[in-house]
Structure 1
């Protein structure tokens, strides 16, 4: 069941109980000091009205100014606390995203576009932006309204009616429009992300749209999505307008009540002119506070919508790591599959239906099969990143699920067909954070003839490379990926068309190295290159196995 945005909001705030307690204590004092100012002003007016200039008058002026200074200092303290929370929230979500994204199950990622998913991180900035208004402005406004109504009742019990009317009006406003406001805000946000995703697609295949720009598909789809966004934005704006109408009605009611009731009480001698002025100041403060609440409501909608968007990422299922067995990394892996069933979500036909296989230690296996026979899925299954629905998978005669996945992944080298070069240095792209001796790194670089390539780079192997290896040849990208998978001498090597763009003599030399029996690893490869087939000791034809 999906967690409501408001629950996510309270869950986050619960992490900062002590900090929020301090903010509210400061807000309480600020509210009290602000509402004591009208009382001081009332006394000052009474002194001026009497025509006396005494030391008491000077002291009252000093007290009022001191009160203003104190509220300023307390507000600075509030801002410092909120800034600390903002920084912590940013860091917390940054690491949460970084931790979760690699662990999201492949079945979940199969339904979405992962880079578009990360766009939701920008809603963390919305939360950061909204926290000061909610924790400082909103809380201070509520305190000022509360204490202002109490203070008004001291002047006259008739103002109790005013307080009740205010509470009822605000309750009706939020009861009628609250849920709809959040709903329209979420719909508006979905269209916003849909538009960003589409613009990213246009940027990703820029050349295609450049060649076919005259047909205006990119503009037409942008127009359709923008129209939906504006429609939902208009619906959300209507909710905000209705809430503001309630506020205007409240302002007319409260001002009219003060003028009529206050004037009557002054005429009847039940309230002096100083008290009337003080009550007017309090009323102005209450109106200002209610206006601040109404303005903050839009930010609250934005923050709750941000939690809904972030929750879309944090709710995705992660890979389970329930095993405790550590991998025996003293020898190559053996693999065994018994009546494996596996397929894609929402597709009836199974990729594998009661499929069994066996691969001995140090075997060199070639996977063959027609397009769609499941060669890529097979590699993903034995790599442990794609789940099986039924059957059993064994590694070294031990069920796969019994292993600690982190221990298992450390001993598997995988090179799939898609480009896995990320933004960073060449060294980082090869080691991926693993501790590797410099001597071993140089040996692999020399083996793949990358040493001459690094020689012409400004900072050698520590030179920066852009995402997806922009401006690198496809052969160089494949060499970097091969270096990544063999650098830590894995016990299972899984390769998918990993030498496709290399020259023939380079392919043969690297294949000879990988297939050499001196290496204590098991190799499973997908390729139509004849030399792979020549050097392999076993062939698994998935076209025949799935018939």
Structure 2
């Protein structure tokens, strides 16, 4: 029944494409290969350039069908829900029982379809994975309301309504049908810890395959010991030394040596895997942290969230045990049971019982163990966060003169940690207790029954000893499996913790390139801009309207610093627009490549900090287009040169992020220099006069006036700086009053 529905044509909302991809062979290839590329690389690393190379066409050809990768993903999501809608209608058409229809619907919404036994559309399996992993990204854009108005989510709503109808047939009075159905769909989109684990191993499939090959050969060789001993005992019983006996001894020893060589090879491969996992994790964090949407971090403390990186070490340590010990134990059990079955039919029954009990142990305890491990980890991070807070605010804690508070709060977290750890340990003890009882019963049964088989001459002494050795190997392997559950919990928990960072939505860096016009500053227009936050009852910005001409210097006087800070963050693309428009050189902000835009903007905002690096690095901030000569020039204009001359290493002096023994005015000048280098076309500055004396303020004014080809927005209460501006804009209660 594979791909039985592949020829069914689906109607897609025409606002989701520039040209219908089903109208040409190229468009069909774009869809097919685009799904595969999204499934392999993920939305963040998916680009039309990569897709064009894959289908051997030009990037411009792809843009003829879709204006952005966001629109492409939205098209695919609609195509997916169209498939589900068709399959739902097809599979429930002749069913009258509402319960059966509901069961069918839930299966369609939550399970990965099997093309061998189900009627599926072409590429539906890959597309479902894309929807599960990437669909949430289409909702975090400012265009979501407009897309909804144009019917982009109509098919999804239709499916929800249809399933709600099935619910109402069963229980007409159930009041939360829509909520229940959407919850089922949303929960299905959450990546499970096991999916994260397979995703982690996916790039190293070849190496893992080699580990399994070595493990299989190692497992087979390890069975040479009992078989060899059985044969040796048989020769010894004959009462003479023979060539066959010598050869067997040599082969047994050789099997042990080669088994060890296989283990060494596995260790080498696993070490390479551990190194690659650490490197990939470090690059993943380094790539994602600057790109995470600010809305994702409003209720989170970013430095504390970054601590999840250390779970990479847990994964490194646990992975070797899982790939070597766990695999070897599993194969030893499998091969041992197969070998035992040749001795007597009873051992087949023994193998079935053993596997059944193992599955029962795993089924009854693993979910509970994983949840308790997650709770334990949560409190572990809370304690680490609190200790970091104490270190960060150590001066405040010292001056507060109340050391008991820090201990009391630490103690409260420790109580919860110990409780959750005990809960987790209780699960581990339960598993191990079952194992001990299980081992004792199996050993008793096998010794008694094996002895009876020997007495009845069904087995000889050599076979009995070999069988007992195999049984001991199997029981030891079972013990390894049970004991490795703690490692499995640790690895899966670590993956969930890392997922708390990697699951956060990233900024979209698609859009038009910024015009490289360095001869003038930006023309800026703010039209009807409003911004709300759940932290405040009143809007932070309310219907803001003003225009700034190229190279104009605008002073902003506000009754609250949050007003101009939010405004600057909106212009810089840090926050998404909620209402209104912002244009730069008459180009809407939403159509611009935000990453390129920021290369043309200099800023000194309240969030700006020094970094752990040299003075030069603190000013250039890694921007390769900023020359050392420009850094020196701006530093001299701001009066930094005399201060830097006090350091023996000059611009190479390492600066502490907390600016120990660096005057506050020097910190402000370094941050201001950072904003002015790189020939920005727009500079946004908050409180440039803070911590400066009157003479230094005049130096700053002179420097800002002399900044060429640059539009400036300067938020300040200082009248001297406001007087140098071409115009002053006053904001009160989020509204423009002057």
8 Å CA contact retained: 1:329, 1:411? no
Q: Which residue does the alignment assign to 1:390? A: 579
Q: Does structure 1 residue 3 correspond to structure 2 residue 191? A: yes
Distance 1:341 1:544, change over 3 A: closer
Aligned to 1:54: 242
Match of 1:236 among 424, 433, 444: 424
Structure 1 position 127 matched with structure 2 position 348? no
1:519 aligns with 2:708: yes
Alignment partner of 1:543 is 2:732: yes
Change over 3 Å in CA distance of 1:58–1:254 after alignment to 2: same
**1:403 equivalent in alignment to 2:580:** no
Number of equivalent positions: 546
Distance 1:213 1:452 in 2: 39
Q: What is the DSSP-based 3-state SS (H/G/I as helix, E as strand, rest coil) of the residue aligned with 1:162?
A: helix
How far 1:215 moved relative to its partner? 5.7
Structure 1 position 334 matched with structure 2 position 523 = yes
Aligned to 2:326: 138
* Among 538, 546, 549, the residue aligned to 1:360: 549
In the other structure, the counterpart of 2:174 is none
The residue number in structure 2 matching 1:466 is 656
Q: Where do residues 333-482 of structure 1 align in structure 2 (5 Å cutoff)?
A: 333-345=522-534, 347-371=536-560, 374-435=563-624, 436-482=626-672
2-side partners of 1:373 and 1:540: how far apart? 15
Match of 2:460 in 1: 272
Distance in 2 separating the partners of 1:157 and 1:53: 33
SS at match of 2:345: coil
Uncovered stretches (5+) of structure 2, i.e. residues with no partner: 1-188
**Separation (CA, whole Å) in 2 of partners of 1:478 and 1:347:** 29
Asked if residue 194 in structure 1 is aligned to residue 382 in structure 2, the reply is yes
Partner of 1:260 in structure 2? 448
Aligned equivalent of 1:73: 261
Does residue 496 in structure 1 map to residue 686 in structure 2?
yes
- After superposition, the Cα gap between the structure-2 partners of 1:369 and 1:346, relative to the gap in structure 1 and judged at 3 Å, is closer
Can you list the C-alpha shifts for 1:390-417, whole angstroms capped at 9, x where unaligned? 2111011110111111221110001012
Distance in 2 (CA, whole Å) between partners of 1:172 and 1:530 is 76
Aligned residue for 1:472, secondary structure, equals: coil
Query: What is the rounded CA distance, in whole Å, between the counterparts of 1:544 and 1:188 in structure 2?
Result: 45
How far the C-alpha of 1:141 sits from its partner, in A, is: 0.3
Offset at residue 470 of structure 1 (A): 2.6
State the Cα distance separating 1:345 from its structure 2 match: 4.2
Give the SS at the match of 2:513: coil
Equivalent in 295, 298, 301 of residue 110 of structure 1: 298
Distance in 1, matches of 2:429 and 2:641, equals 66
Q: 2:514 is paired with a residue of what secondary structure? A: coil
1-structure distance, mates of 2:403, 2:619: 43
Aligned with residue 277 of structure 2, among 62, 67, 89: 89
1:341 aligned counterpart, secondary structure: strand
**Kept in 1: contact 2:541–2:733 (CA 8 A):** no
Contact 2:540 2:733 in 1 (8 A): no
1:44-82 deviation digits (Å, cap 9, x = unpaired): 112222211112111111111111110111111111111
Cα contact 1:185–1:302 (8 A) shared by 2:
yes
The alpha carbon displacement at 1:498 in A equals 2.6
What SS does the aligned partner of 2:732 have?
helix
The answer on whether the counterparts of 2:615 and 2:653 sit within 8 Å (CA) in structure 1 is yes
Q: Judge conservation of contact 2:563–2:734 (CA < 8 Å) in 1.
A: no
Q: What CA distance in whole angstroms lies between the structure 2 residues aligned with 1:238 and 1:439?
A: 65
Deviation of 1:359 (Å)? 1.1
Q: Distance in 1 between matches of 2:348 and 2:401?
A: 67
* Residue 247 (structure 1) aligned to one of 424, 429, 435: 435
Cα distance in 2, alignment partners of residues 445 and 279 from structure 1: 82
The alpha carbon displacement at 1:545 in A equals: 5.9
- Matches of 2:621 and 2:254, distance apart in 1: 59
Deviation at 1:143, TM superposition (A): 0.2
Asked if 2 retains the 8 angstrom alpha-carbon contact of 1:417 and 1:498, the reply is no
Deviates more, 1:66-75 or 1:101-110: 101-110
Per the alignment, in what secondary structure is the counterpart of residue 467 of structure 1?
coil
SS at match of 1:158: helix
Q: Secondary structure at the match of 1:202?
A: helix
Q: Give the conservation status (yes or no) of the 8 Å contact 1:383–1:414.
A: no
Shift of 1:124: 0.4
- 2:486 paired residue number: 298
Q: Which has the higher contact order (CA 8 A, sep 6+)?
A: 1
Contact in 1 for aligned 2:539/2:734 (Cα 8 Å): no
**What do residues 349-389 of structure 1 show as CA deviations (whole Å, max 9, x unaligned)?**
32123222211111111111212661211111112212211
Aligned residues of 1:107 and 1:345 also touching (Cα < 8 A): no
Q: Report deviation, 1:454.
A: 2.1
- TM normalised by structure 1 equals 0.97
Shift of 1:205: 1.4
Of 293-302 and 436-445, the range deviating more from structure 2: 436-445
Deviations 1:114-135 (Å, cap 9, x if unpaired)?
1101111000000000010000
More divergent stretch after superposition (316-325 vs 160-169): 316-325
